[in-house]
Copies of this chain bind each other. A is one copy, B any other.
Amino acid sequence: MASVFPIADLRRSNDPFAWMNSIIKGDCVSALEALPDHSVDVIFADPPYNLQLGGMLHRPDQSVVDAVDDEWDQFASFDAYDAFTRAWLLACRRVLKPNGTIWVIGSYHNIFRVGATLQDLNFWILNDIVWRKTNPMPNFKGRRFQNAHETMIWASRDSKAKSYTFNYDALKASNDDVQMRSDWLFPICSGGERLKGEDGKKIHPTQKPEALLARIILASSKAGDVILDPFFGSGTTGAVAKRLGRNFVGIEREQDYIDAASARIDAVEPLGKIELTVMTGKKAEPRVAFNTLLDSGLLKPGQVLSCDKRKHSAIVRADGTLVSGTEAGSIHRVGARVRGLDACNGWTFWHYEDQGKLKPIDDLRSIIRADMAKLS
C-alpha cells in the first residue's frame, strides 16, 4: 500500500489502475495526463496560495513567524498564477467522472482567481464553504482583522450534472438533526496530528486537519469511491480516505513530502463496515406504493383519510386511489386538488385514525419498510 510511482513507470504499466491507492511522483499536470478519463469520483485540491509576503514578519516578542515562503508558492504575476490554475483544473476536469465533484481550498490571496477560473471552465459551483479556525494565528501588527478562516469551493463538473453524491441525511443526523451549514468550525492541525521531522520542525507548512477532510469525504463520496488529491503534500487526503474506506491517489513533486505521507498512510487502519455505513433518507429507501398498504391490510377499502386538521377528507378505494367529492386519483393528486395546489406529498398530508389519534399514512409505510428490511 501507498506505493510511489514516477510518472514514466505509470505510463509503462499494463494495469490502467496501477495508480490506485498510491502516490504519483511528478508535476501535477503531467501526472494527471497519465490517468484515464472519468476515473475519479472526488477531487480535493489544496493548490499553492500565491502568498505575496514582503519581508519577514515578527511577533511582538521579536520572534520570527515561520511563514510560507517555499519556492513552490512563488508566481511571477496573477497571469502566471491564472495560467497554472487553468492548466491543472482542465486536467482535473478530464479525469473527473461526469457526476464527480471537486473541492478547492484557498485564502483571499488565490481563492477569487480559482473560483473565477472554475466558472470560466464551466464547472458549476454548488457551495462555497468557510472553514472557521478555532485557533488562527493572530494579526501581530494590528493593521487588519485577524485572518480566522479559509474558503473552500465545492463544484460539480457542469450545471447539468445533478446526480453528484451528497450525503445530506448523514450530515443532518450528525448535526443534531438540522441541516449542515456552509460555515464549519475546526481547529488548525497541531499537536500529535501534525507531522514533524526528527528536528521537531513541521514537515509541511500547510498541513490540513483530518477532521476537515473527513467531513468533505463523508459529505461528498461513498465507500469505495476514488479520491484524488493533485497537491498531496503531507497526505491528509490519503490518510483520511483510507480510514474511511475510500480509495485515493495523490500527486506530489517533493520527495520529503512523499516519504512522510507514505509512512503516515501505511499506519492508518481502515474502519469497519458498521462504522462506515452512511445514514440515508427516504430517497434511498425502496419505493413503497400506496396500494401496498391495502395489500397488507394496514388500510382497508372504504376507510376515511383526512388531513391533520380534519379539514379535508377522502375515501380509500379498492384500486388504491382516493376519492374526495368530485376529485379522484392518487394520494398525491387528490391531496393537491383539495388544497388547490399543483403538488402535494400525499404520504405526509393524509392521516388515518388510530385509537382516536390522527397519524400520517407515512407511518404505515415505515412499517412496511421495516418488514422489508427484516426479509433482506
Contacts and interface: CB of A to CB of B under 8 A. Distances in A.
Contacts of A321: 170, 173-174, 279
B318 A218 contact: yes
A362 to B, nearest CB: 12
Interface stretch (A123-131, A196-204, A253-261): A123-131
A100 to B, nearest CB: 16
A74 interface: no
A301 B244 CA distance: 10
B108 A111 contact: no
Contact of A113 (B116, B128, B132, B274): B116
- Among A60, A181, A328, A333, max chain B CB count under 10 A is at A181
Given A176-B330, A279-B329, 9 more contacts: A62-B339, A132-B183, A142-B166, A174-B291, A185-B292, A215-B291, A271-B318, A274-B302, A275-B316
Interface of A: 58, 60, 62, 78, 107-109, 111-116, 118-120, 125-130, 132, 134-136, 138-139, 142-149, 151, 153-154, 166-177, 179-183, 185-187, 211, 214-215, 218-219, 244, 271-272, 274-279, 281, 286-287, 289-292, 294-296, 301-302, 315-321, 323, 326, 328-333, 339, 341-345, 370-375
Contact of A277 (B130, B219, B289, B328): B328
20 contacts: A62-B341, A62-B344, A108-B115, A108-B127, A112-B112, A127-B147, A134-B372, A142-B168, A142-B179, A143-B166, A143-B168, A170-B320, A172-B330, A174-B289, A174-B321, A176-B332, A185-B292, A186-B295, A277-B323, A278-B319
A173 B330 contact: yes
Given A78-B120, A181-B148, A329-B279, A319 B170 contact: yes
Contacts of A154: 145
A154 B143 CA distance: 12
- Chain A binding site: helix, strand, loop or mixed by DSSP? mixed
A319 B279 contact: yes
Contacts of A344: 62
Nearest to A276: B318
